[in-house]
Amino acid sequence: MRVLLVDLDPQGNASTGLGVPADARDHTTYDLLVESADLSDVIRQTDIDDLCIIPATVDLSSADIELMSNEKRSFLLHDALRQPAMDEYEWDYILIDCPPSLNLLTVNAMVAAHSVLIPLQSEFFALEGLSQLMLTLREVRQAANPKLRIEGIVLTMYDRRNNLSQQVEQDARDNLGDLVFRTKIPRNVRVSEAPSYAMPVLNYDSGSLGAKAYRQLASEIIENNQEVAAE
Ligand SMILES: Nc1ncnc2c1ncn2[C@@H]1O[C@H](COP(=O)(O)OP(=O)(O)OP(=O)(O)O)[C@@H](O)[C@H]1O
Ligand SMILES: [Mg+2]
């Protein structure tokens, strides 16, 4: 698959994790949103075939305030990613890595996207954060993107020996049913280590339980999307 990863998190973890050092991020998501930079300037190839990234730096954290007076402030990413110049890249998937809070950047992502993929840590407060996210989703649907789907909710940091993990899973499946992916991502040290080697876990340790789980998640997502396309 040809994939573009848009780093929309001022922390820039996706950029660092894919080997784009902070001092090499000359053209970023900030430039795309605020300065209307050209796609060809902001999209860069990673070390991995068919995976490109638009990197982010901390300057993105001020975009929220700078864009407040912009009438199109919620549609900037939507418009940027739908420029005609985008067609020639022939992406199969565009993934947008969101910041941890619900702000104007997150709204831009939800307005631009076809669907939302929600990682849910198997911890006590996780489901509380989810209800706020669901409210925001509903608002974005009403105001700007009626077709926005929930791609699915993926349980992460799962520890099957831990009662709490099992309880969070049970609650999630009882309340959210089919929205919860069958695949669970186990807590796995290789997943934590991979970013410090600036590699996805699939390359860092392809046989690890974490890599296997993420590969299985990818299959599940692709399978679901074939069903969506057939409807
Ligand atoms: N060691 C691990 N084993 C399994 N899954 C992990 C591990 N570390 C992180 N994850 C999961 O991978 C995803 C990405 O983790 P990451 O550490 O980048 O945090 P994040 O949720 O993106 O945080 P932030 O919002 O600060 O960017 C999360 O869903 C997390 O639960
Ligand atoms: Mg993150």
- Say whether pLDDT at 32 is over 90: yes
Closest protein CA for atom 11 of ligand 1: 156
Domain boundaries, the chain: 3-230
Quote the ligand 2 centre to 118 CA distance (angstroms). Answer: 11
DSSP H/E element including 94: strand 93-97
User: Collapsing DSSP states into helix, strand and coil, what is residue 157?
Assistant: strand
Q: Which residue has the tokens 């999630």?
A: 172
Measured from the CB, is residue 97 less than 6 Å from ligand 1?
Answer: no
Residues 210, 162: Cα–Cα separation, whole Å: 17
Identify the three-state secondary structure at position 196: helix
Q: State the pTM of this model.
A: 0.95
Ligand 2: centre distance to CA 10 (Å): 9
Per-residue pLDDT at 128 exceeds 90: no
Find out whether the beta carbon of 100 lies less than 6 Å from any atom of ligand 1.
yes
Q: Among the CATH numbers 3.20.20.70, 3.90.79.10, 3.40.50.300, 3.30.950.10, which is that of 3-230?
A: 3.40.50.300
Choose one of 157, 162, 169, 181 to mutate for the ligand 1 pocket test, by most ligand atoms within 8 angstroms of C-beta.
157
**Lowest mean pLDDT segment, chosen from 18-27, 107-116, 184-193:** 18-27
Determine which residue's CA is closest to atom 16 belonging to ligand 1.
13
- Per-residue pLDDT tens digits for 82-116: 999 999 999 999 999 999 988 999 999 999 999 99
> Which region among 17-26, 87-96, 108-117, 187-196 has the lowest average model confidence (pLDDT)?
17-26
- Do residues 28 and 55 touch, judged by C-beta distance below 8 A? yes
| Beta-bridge mates of residue 7 | 97
Q: Is the pLDDT of residue 227 over 90?
A: no
- Mean pLDDT across the stretch 169-177? 93
